[in-house]
Structure 1
């Protein structure tokens, strides 16, 4: 019951405060740990592909196990002090591991710069939340990039962490966040990370498989509740959910494209190289700046539905098992 109450408190705090810049985020510690271990792996393995592949697995295990065990030990230590201390700590961590308000705020900055007619600043703002090159993006490209990252991170930044938090509390939440951070830092298919990051990429796909599909279904329900094109969201989801190199990324992107009745994805530049990508959705109407706001509304509705569903299932299990 404490875990469920801590998740409820953390969810409310995230919606209220988001991620203040002055507050040190635990993901930065995970990121620093990954960077340190990566340097060690490269120093030992040099450019030997087989060794880098093995080292990537060891790196993943050290990071993910470390994040889980450290948070578990600190939580147990807090319990020894007082149950209230453990509840406060777990609630705070649940709050930090969710990114609903911050995702909407960061995408909102992109919207604001576009509304002011400042495309260069909008490109800079969107570069803070996407991995692609943004220097040559048109206004439509900036909007699409913002909408796509809101759609994808509805799962990665909100629904998936909430899923693992409610199952296993803050330690399992840190486990997931470490998995996700590993993928975002080294899970690339370029020459630098093709071998060292392969384990991180594959296991991120594995641990996001169920949450991504739950996110998509909840987002479809959210589209209906918000008066968006729910039928279109379902249709495009069924048709385009596999149009991505990742088995998970297009799940929510397809729903969002259908709900907004726009076309997303397509070719994109990463690290100076053009990557060919399929389009997701139908070009029913032109992409417009307000689509960023609409994607944010869909994010919030999906998050609320996920909380009600996961919390309801957890509560039922607590009472009936």
Structure 2
């Protein structure tokens, strides 16, 4: 039996995220974000430029920023695995080098520790009935205006953010590593970052950011379905498997993001909480969010419950990955 390297790499990356958290300095994504801002500032100079021109510029900018690093990573790891990069003493340790390199890349892409810290920060403020701090911390993770939110609204939008980011910041990274290795992880993380920066439907990015938004949708499509299915598996003990799948498929149709709608509706149904179904103010505009999930109205406890559900999904994925490798090696 060969070593379950995929499972061990993911486990080690998760332990790095648990021990170290998000890098405080020199995070690769911070540098990438600065580069993306500089490029957009030079290329996307006119909000009134022609539609086709803006879309083409945005697509070319996306390719220029996103594609080089995954391609370089692919060829570098391939050279290590085929023992063509090093000779002598290093040639005997290239499997170990690949293991640590891939684990570090997955660690850089993971955001579980950071997500948990932000969520629990808001949860603790609500438990202590400190609405001022809860609104402030909530504003760190959502783009809607939080100054007038009450406890239930804060609980709702924080739980929504925890569930939606359970895929974007955690499970998509694990799934894409299993499917395509470190290069696919890098591709998704850079694409997801550009979507967060350029994917707004405002005057500045409506056309320029279209490629960034579509690319992120495509890359997250399969992970979102697998994550939703994992929530459904967790719902078996509550006889909620069928309800979770039905709600995810039906309620996501009305949500602004297909992938986000699937994950949020599945997670909310598992938690038996009603998310969405409310108006929120984004950049001065009132936006109505459709119903996601079913059950109780949002409370502070649902924030903690959503993070616990994500933890169980991670464990479930590690178990399936391990046994998948074990069966493949037999």
After superposition, residues 238-277 of structure 1 pair within 5 angstroms as: 238-265=249-276, 266-277=278-289
Which of 241, 261, 286 aligns to 2:297? It is 286
1:192: Cα distance to partner? 1.4
Cα distance in structure 2, aligned partners of 1:57 and 1:239: 31
1:40: Cα distance to partner? 2.1
| Change over 3 Å in CA distance of 1:189–1:315 after alignment to 2 | farther
Q: Is the 8 A contact 1:234 1:258 kept in 2?
A: no
Unaligned runs of 5+ in 1: none
1:18: Cα distance to partner? 5.5
Q: Is the 8 A contact 2:6 2:321 kept in 1?
A: no
TM score, norm. by length of structure 2: 0.86
Residue number in structure 2 paired with 1:69: 71
Larger radius of gyration: 2
Residue number in structure 1 paired with 2:8: 5
1:259: Cα distance to partner? 2.0
Cα distance in structure 2, aligned partners of 1:92 and 1:173: 11
| Change over 3 Å in CA distance of 1:311–1:56 after alignment to 2 | farther
After superposition, residues 79-118 of structure 1 pair within 5 angstroms as: 80=86, 82-83=93-94, 84-118=96-130
Residue number in structure 2 paired with 1:185: 197
After superposition, residues 225-236 of structure 1 pair within 5 angstroms as: 225=237, 232-236=243-247
* 3-state SS of paired residue (1:264): strand
After superposition, residues 143-222 of structure 1 pair within 5 angstroms as: 143-222=155-234
Question: Root-mean-square deviation (CA), in Å?
Answer: 2.5
Q: Is the 8 A contact 2:198 2:209 kept in 1?
A: yes
Q: Is the 8 A contact 1:154 1:303 kept in 2?
A: no
Count of residue correspondences = 316
TM score, norm. by length of structure 1: 0.88
Which of 129, 133, 149 aligns to 1:121? It is 133
Q: Is the 8 A contact 1:163 1:310 kept in 2?
A: no
Q: Is the 8 A contact 2:7 2:318 kept in 1?
A: no
Unaligned runs of 5+ in 2: none
